[in-house]
Amino acid sequence: MKLSRSLAAFVAASAFAVGVVFAAETAAPKAKPEGNPGKCCVKAESAGKTCDHKCCVEANAAGKNCEKCGGTNPAKKS
Ligand SMILES: [Zn+2]
Ligand SMILES: [Zn+2]
């Protein structure tokens, strides 16, 4: 009986692992940061480009919107 128990546990663990992988994959395509980008960035994006302002590039690299150019970021309490 011990064998079937551990087998069931293994199956459950596998299902859980698959669920985690699926969750990670569905969460993965999150290219844009939350909040609103600045006007310059919106303009660049609508032209199929990325804003080349140094401040915006730096902010985007950090996964944020450029606040200097009017972008907003969700307030995070850490
Ligand atoms: Zn910009
Ligand atoms: Zn900027």
pLDDT tens, residue by residue, 6-18: 877 777 777 777 7
Instruction: Give the structural domain span for 53.
Output: 33-72
CA of 26 to the centre of ligand 1 (A): 28
Domain identity same for 39 and 66: yes
- Looking at residue 55, what DSSP letter applies? H
CA of 26 to the centre of ligand 2 (A): 30
pTM over 0.75: no
Ligand index nearest the alpha carbon of residue 67: 2
Dist CA 61 CA 69 (whole Å)? 15
The number of distinct structural domains making up the chain is 2
Angle at 56 between CA 75 and CA 31, to 5 degrees: 70
Domain identity same for 63 and 38: yes
pLDDT tens, residue by residue, 29-70: 556 778 999 999 999 999 999 999 999 999 999 999 999 999
Domain identity same for 37 and 64: yes
In a domain, 38, yes or no: yes
Average pLDDT of the residues in 14-31: 66
Confidence check: pLDDT of 22 > 70: no
3-state SS track over 27-46: HCCCCCCCCCCCHHHHHHHH
Top pLDDT among 72 and 12 is at 72
